[in-house]
Structure 1
Amino acid sequence: MDLIAAEGIEKRFGQLTALRDISLNVRRGELYGLIGPDGAGKTTFFRILTTLMPPDGGRATVDGLDIAADYRRIRAAVGYMPGRFSLYQDLTVKENLEFFATLFGTRLEDNYDLIRDIYVQIEPFRNRRAGRLSGGMKQKLALCCALIHRPRVLFLDEPTTGVDVVSRHEFWDMLSGLKRQGITMLVSTPYMDEAVRCDRIALIQSGRLLSIDTPRGIIENYPDALFEVRAENMRQLTDEIRKRCSPQSCFAFGRSLHVSFSRDDAEAPQRMRAALTAAGCTNLEIAPITPSIEDCFIQQMR
């Protein structure tokens, strides 16, 4: 059963079309990722699904409830963690949890089994004001507040933006734990490396869906042959590859370049090595690699 179903969602702000014909479904118990850069339309889509904003076209249901006709019931039934920390900074950790529990007519004790593994990490700071918590602790508090009423569907809008790498990994471990408890989740993120933690992902850019599949499926459908290329002078290397080698794509990834050619062009790496050597590129390294989700995103944008 689909706990989230969207069909043909459109949203416009004046002359700007923020969402164009967005259709996707999230199955019961799925950890589903909406992956794309800032400005792609992720937050707008989340606000529509959580009934904070009406669409200009299309329809959607959440847990079988229509986002227009049943908005009150949806708001009471789902959990929503917005990208920006939105809890009460002057209230303590304990006071924030009690406040949100009261809003949903429940108590911390009623659903403690759901949030126990998360709460034990913030419990030592229960009397500290939320505004004085670290980024990682704010993140955990916000997640506890979103889960306080045991929602069947949890929306997390860029939950790891602005926190350190360790906290990001810890957060995704917590989401995996929630999935094992049967919580259905829709998570948005600009971090391509987080996509592999999802059951399925939708790649979105400029309000359009580029692809929907499992992370492995998207990688396996990458159509080109991809190589990692390094040399002494990386700026010269980039210019020479684009000028002499006619690649499908050539982009910087950390301290190397990812360069793609058609799979039908078996001689491309040898030609590239010869051309770059002739151009004076020194300490040249060329190796075939498996594409990442980011490589796939760039390819689909082309």
Structure 2
Amino acid sequence: MTAAAEPALIDVHGLTKRYGNRVVVDHFDMRVPKGRIYGFLGPNGSGKTTTIRMLCGLLTPDAGEGTCMGYNIRTQAALIKREVGYMTQRFGLYEDLTIAENLDFIARVYAVDQRPRKVRETLERLGLATRHDQLAGALSGGWKQRLALAACLIHNPRLLLLDEPTAGVDPAARREFWDHIHELAADGLTVLVSTHYMDEAERCHELTYIAYGKLLTRGTVAEVIAGAGLITWAVSGPDLIAVAHRLRQAAGIRSVAPFGTTLHVSAASTAAVRDALAALPFEGLVSEPITPSLEDVFIALMQDAKDNYGETTPGAAA
């Protein structure tokens, strides 16, 4: 069965949300099959958090329809909230309670059956048992992240919504976190995760990328890269800052970005890159075509995106 034919745990169409005269989510569609890790990417202010809050019943869309876990996002928000785990960008548990006390409190909120046993099992599953009596406020960023994930899972949700969950944690903690996420997905849990990290995006089964409230692309990593139609060359040599400045002004160049000691130069055609390089008044440059990375694609997409800050909706007062 293809992803498009699989039952959808999230299936929404035309989601729109306005704050004042500004449209922050603009007729957005999303379909997430059960048991998938779905990456939700976009720059700050792109509408990711607003979309997530509409999906889990915390915000009512101004337009659009759809279902989340089979529940109508407009009329059955309370039912959605009972079966979703939502991990926000900031640590939201009680820092003056221990790890175990925090989990017990969340279990009480959700009226979890056999609460003491469930707390013990969750502590073990997330590797928190040896620290169960440590105050949450004394934890490092990585351990706070693990506790927050445990709190999201204590009531056995069908959908896990993660809003930039690894911001501010070290690479080892991020890797452990993603190991847990893949184990959960293998057990049938559906995960929607927003992230700014390209290595994390590549760990997702599918991706959706939005900018300023509008969908730019979706698909697997391979599909997103192939669909961009991007030609990318690596350029190395002296004076790369000056080289980058000139290339950004060249006709047909979509993006120029430093990657270590090279520049990644992207365009819609090989001819555009070659012409831009040939016109450079610099010596000692070495260039070669490379396969565009996911980051190359997203940088190019952002160059084409239009910032909607300050835009007004049709018919609204300016």
Normalising by structure 1, we get a TM-score of 0.90
Aligned to 2:21: 15
Aligned to 2:269: 263
Q: Structure 2 matches for 1:171-186, cutoff 5 A?
A: 171-186=177-192
How far the C-alpha of 1:224 sits from its partner, in A, is 2.7
How far the C-alpha of 1:206 sits from its partner, in A, is 0.4
List per-residue Cα deviations over 1:117-171 (Å, max 9, x = no partner): 42x2x22221111111100000000000000011111111110111122222221
Aligned to 2:117: 109
Deviates more, 1:62-71 or 1:252-261: 252-261
Distance 1:212 1:112 in 2: 39
How far the C-alpha of 1:101 sits from its partner, in A, is 1.1
Change in CA separation of 1:237 and 1:281 when aligned onto 2, cut-off 3 Å: farther
Change in CA separation of 1:115 and 1:60 when aligned onto 2, cut-off 3 Å: farther
Whether contact under 8 Å (2:89, 2:167) holds in the other structure is yes
How far the C-alpha of 1:272 sits from its partner, in A, is 5.3
Change in CA separation of 1:108 and 1:295 when aligned onto 2, cut-off 3 Å: farther
Aligned to 1:127: 133
Aligned to 2:89: 83
Task: Find 2:148's aligned residue among 132, 136, 142.
Answer: 142
3-state secondary structure, aligned to 1:86: coil
Distance 1:115 1:198 in 2: 26
Distance 1:129 1:217 in 2: 45
3-state secondary structure, aligned to 2:182: helix
Structure with the larger helix share? 1
Distance 2:63 2:90 in 1: 27
Distance 1:239 1:16 in 2: 33
How far the C-alpha of 1:114 sits from its partner, in A, is 6.8
Verify: 1:297 aligned to 2:298, yes or no. Answer: yes
Whether contact under 8 Å (1:91, 1:129) holds in the other structure is yes
List per-residue Cα deviations over 1:248-298 (Å, max 9, x = no partner): 432333432111234352x944x555544xx2343x231222112221122
Aligned residues, how many? 295
Aligned to 1:151: 157
Verify: 1:94 aligned to 2:100, yes or no. Answer: yes
List per-residue Cα deviations over 1:34-77 (Å, max 9, x = no partner): 11111111111111111111111112311101122212211111
Change in CA separation of 1:113 and 1:248 when aligned onto 2, cut-off 3 Å: same
Distance 2:208 2:77 in 1: 25
Aligned to 2:282: 280
Whether contact under 8 Å (1:6, 1:60) holds in the other structure is yes
Task: Find 1:247's aligned residue among 224, 239, 253.
Answer: 253
Change in CA separation of 1:297 and 1:280 when aligned onto 2, cut-off 3 Å: closer
How far the C-alpha of 1:116 sits from its partner, in A, is 3.8
Task: Find 2:38's aligned residue among 32, 39, 55.
Answer: 32
How far the C-alpha of 1:113 sits from its partner, in A, is 5.9
In angstroms, what is the RMSD of aligned CA positions? 2.1
Identity %: 40
Deviates more, 1:100-109 or 1:244-253: 244-253
Give the counterpart letter for 1:241 in structure 2: L
Verify: 1:188 aligned to 2:194, yes or no. Answer: yes
Aligned to 2:3: none
Change in CA separation of 1:246 and 1:204 when aligned onto 2, cut-off 3 Å: closer
Verify: 1:41 aligned to 2:47, yes or no. Answer: yes
Aligned to 1:204: 210
Distance 2:162 2:282 in 1: 49
How far the C-alpha of 1:81 sits from its partner, in A, is 0.7
Change in CA separation of 1:300 and 1:243 when aligned onto 2, cut-off 3 Å: closer
Change in CA separation of 1:240 and 1:93 when aligned onto 2, cut-off 3 Å: same
Deviates more, 1:252-261 or 1:56-65: 252-261
3-state secondary structure, aligned to 1:197: coil
Distance 1:192 1:108 in 2: 39
Distance 2:184 2:59 in 1: 27
Whether contact under 8 Å (2:251, 2:276) holds in the other structure is yes
3-state secondary structure, aligned to 2:217: strand
3-state secondary structure, aligned to 1:87: coil
3-state secondary structure, aligned to 1:296: helix
